[in-house]
Amino acid sequence: MSFSEDEIERYARHLVLSEVGGPGQQRLKAARVGLIGLGGVGAPAALYLAAAGVGTLRLI
């Protein structure tokens, strides 16, 4: 799984971090997350997960 030009630009800060890097961002892109509850905590959590590059978000 490789990154498009847009993804490289979007996730540039993640790719530079030694804790995440390319392999970590690829795992995030392939990840599936189910989030139950979109109230006070769930809504910002969904936003942060999407910004981090999680591949599939299931919002319940």
Q: What are 25-53's pLDDT values in tens digits?
A: 999 899 999 999 999 999 999 999 999 98
Give 58's strand partners.
34
Domain count, the chain: 1
**For position 17, what pLDDT does the model report?**
86
**For position 1, what pLDDT does the model report?**
64
- CB neighbours of residue 35 within 10 Å: 16
> Chain-wide mean pLDDT for the chain?
90
Query: Domain span at residue 38?
Result: 5-59
CATH number, domain containing residue 34: 3.50.50.80
User: Quick one: which of 46, 23, 43 has its CA closest to 33?
Assistant: 46
Global confidence as pTM: 0.78
